[in-house]
Structure 1
């Protein structure tokens, strides 16, 4: 039986894939070691969101090759740009996620046992509900790795969620490349049904829904908002990446949605929920983004005021249509990114400042620095409880806190 070492980079969806790989390896009798030098095989689960990440993945693969007998590279960069590892002279097997356990087990087909531990990290359980997406964005390389949406039945995902809760999960993170189109390939979008069913599971836990593109959410926005309003177990949080405030740029990006649809999602959730968190993403400096397009993005940020915002400078990814477009200068992208980031910090700080003096129930999900713990309130806003042992607050606890201050992107809370 093999000793394996695994490293995971990128999003929670990647982490979920790694957990499934580990589960199958453990069930087949293999065991994990912490250092690659102690392993028979090292597994590198890669990310390829931007060019800097790509360079880091290549460097780490070269390091692992020197530290272990055999190296397997999987994940988004491996599947979309496997030739990069070969061109760099990395001696590794470049495999799809599903192929990794079989490669390590020499072709055996292990069966996952019912008592396998499903918790990914402490009290956080990650539940990938589907693989792939329905989009064809002109700048995206990840789709080359994941393909179109493939959604397991609702009941199958509910049983996985139930196993997580029974194993001790206090927070279930619903993940996927695009959770909003769950079930789309079968002619029926079922994210709201799945969430409602998971919330019916007995136990004290919270559920966070991962990234859902606006096009998928828009068609079921009323149904989703109703499910959020009816279930306290659901964090009042959605991550709907708009990417631009300009319909012209969205068209060039092939993003499927228009700005109006994104705004209608926000308005619908505002109608159903008094307190919730909107998370979104913006790409600045797309090749066809004119100054007026950028101004529209800034205006949209100010109008919808998301409490969590990811701002990314456009980066050409090989093999994508946008890579053939004439790009904007680096200084232009830098200046637009700075303007957007400045507005972002203003908007986020205002949201957290408004919480000061309020009392919220939070769930402690992981240890912070020193004696602090990281918690999330009912809208998935991060609250830090300092000197946690003095308050007898431990990871996995639900506790009421008074918000006493903030540091722009998170708040501080004292148990009451």
Structure 2
């Protein structure tokens, strides 16, 4: 029996796919790299945005048309968020919910034999220390918790991932230790909201970061997205943890809007003043910090004045990475009952913000031209050369280096998304 897994979406979803593959291998079921070689196809779905929803729906339909003899299993967030649509487009598909990954082998075996098996619902089972199939990269992903404490009006992912469930620090550290011993050079601590870690268990994100970073070996730690409201009570200690030399000087702190009115409508649970205070503390304490932000353009209650405030905040905080999303209704989300911003207004705002985004990020990266950076080489580039990361987690193109090595480079050029470099002799 051979299985092909195709994954969409975030780092957390990628880790789910690695767990499913690990469970299958433990049960002597082979993982293959092409659909043509597979008996069973698992489509690991993401449902956070409408374009991704459309992409996975099209893929599920297309696979059934092109490979009528192959069995299809759908996993990921769509399974818990939109079962009505999933049943409509794939009535003969089996399902594996995000909390049912330990049953992957049973679902695959039953589906292969002609049954339609649908495992859904929430559990408290840990996703740390379980079998995983690495993709062969030098990056090891560890899910530190699942679910969130948020009530964001625009989000449907929380319906798939459920309430917060943090995993023990000791288990996370042990998985990191084994990964480093097996050659991992980057440990990614990921979650829907890493700042929520431990709120249900009494442990703290800052302690977790320090314990992982204090492991022996040459590696870096990347801390995933943090909700601003959940960082407020632990800012100083998280800053102290990210100062550790093995932790990237990087934070992903979504703001979504520069307007307090819109943030309140979104039920984000923090103000612009609080957000700016957090960013100011990080930048004052960590020179060269890379700040990544998320912005939703055209939330239903956003007017021109609200949009202008978002632009003003971006110019003030000068993030190095800006992830833009046009607002779109999502299944079950509270804001889906609101009237959307007119398409022509949405298009205008999005275009303007895209231009601002490129200007800000390129300007920030250009300031690094001429500097010498120590970088970690992590993967081969798709167009030649290698991709490395600075201590601030900015991608750098490097030539003639060994994967997994730390090298010194001089930055020779910059774009809005990456740096160019020349290798310096050690």
TM-score, normalised to structure 1's length? 0.93
Post-superposition Cα deviations, 1:333-378, rounded to whole Å, max 9, x if no partner, equal: 1111111111111111111110000000011111113431111100
Match of 2:123 in 1: none
Match of 1:369 in 2: 382
Q: Is the 8 A contact 1:41 1:70 kept in 2?
A: yes
Matches for 1:312-351 after TM superposition, within 5 Å: 312-351=325-364
Distance across 1 between alignment mates of 2:54 and 2:130: 39
Q: Are 1:222 and 2:236 matched, yes or no?
A: yes
Match of 1:262 in 2: 275
Gaps in structure 2 of 5+ consecutive residues: 110-126
Q: Is the 8 A contact 2:23 2:105 kept in 1?
A: no
Gaps in structure 1 of 5+ consecutive residues: none
Distance across 1 between alignment mates of 2:404 and 2:130: 21
Q: Are 1:97 and 2:98 matched, yes or no?
A: yes
Post-superposition Cα deviations, 1:265-295, rounded to whole Å, max 9, x if no partner, equal: 1111122111110000110100000111111
| Aligned-partner SS, 2:391 | coil
Matches for 1:194-343 after TM superposition, within 5 Å: 194-229=208-243, 231-343=244-356
| Aligned-partner SS, 1:319 | coil
Distance across 2 between alignment mates of 1:103 and 1:370: 36
Post-superposition Cα deviations, 1:39-84, rounded to whole Å, max 9, x if no partner, equal: 2321111011222211111111122334253211111122211221
Match of 1:404 in 2: 412
Match of 1:14 in 2: 13
Distance across 2 between alignment mates of 1:144 and 1:238: 25
Choose 373-382 or 66-75, whichever is displaced more: 66-75
Q: Are 1:71 and 2:86 matched, yes or no?
A: no
Distance across 2 between alignment mates of 1:307 and 1:3: 43
RMSD across aligned positions (CA): 2.0
Post-superposition Cα deviations, 1:211-239, rounded to whole Å, max 9, x if no partner, equal: 1111112221110111122x111000000
Distance across 2 between alignment mates of 1:369 and 1:88: 34
Distance across 1 between alignment mates of 2:132 and 2:265: 45
Count of residues in correspondence between the two structures: 405
Match of 1:37 in 2: 36
Deviation of 1:133 after TM superposition, in Å, equals: 0.6
Match of 1:358 in 2: 371
Evaluate the alpha carbon distance shift between residue 71 and residue 273 of structure 1 in structure 2; reply closer, same or farther with a 3 A threshold: same
Evaluate the alpha carbon distance shift between residue 124 and residue 222 of structure 1 in structure 2; reply closer, same or farther with a 3 A threshold: same
Distance across 2 between alignment mates of 1:269 and 1:366: 29
Distance across 2 between alignment mates of 1:296 and 1:339: 13
Distance across 2 between alignment mates of 1:115 and 1:95: 17
Distance across 1 between alignment mates of 2:134 and 2:228: 30
Distance across 1 between alignment mates of 2:269 and 2:96: 31
| Aligned-partner SS, 2:166 | coil
Evaluate the alpha carbon distance shift between residue 107 and residue 121 of structure 1 in structure 2; reply closer, same or farther with a 3 A threshold: closer
Distance across 2 between alignment mates of 1:276 and 1:179: 18
Match of 1:130 in 2: 145
Deviation of 1:22 after TM superposition, in Å, equals: 1.1
| Aligned-partner SS, 2:189 | strand
Q: Is the 8 A contact 2:81 2:331 kept in 1?
A: no
Distance across 2 between alignment mates of 1:410 and 1:260: 30
Match of 1:178 in 2: 193
| Aligned-partner SS, 1:184 | coil
Q: Is the 8 A contact 2:60 2:90 kept in 1?
A: no
Distance across 1 between alignment mates of 2:149 and 2:130: 34
| Aligned-partner SS, 2:145 | coil
Matches for 1:147-158 after TM superposition, within 5 Å: 147-158=162-173
Distance across 2 between alignment mates of 1:13 and 1:77: 14
Q: Is the 8 A contact 1:366 1:374 kept in 2?
A: yes
Distance across 1 between alignment mates of 2:408 and 2:199: 39
Q: Is the 8 A contact 1:21 1:97 kept in 2?
A: no
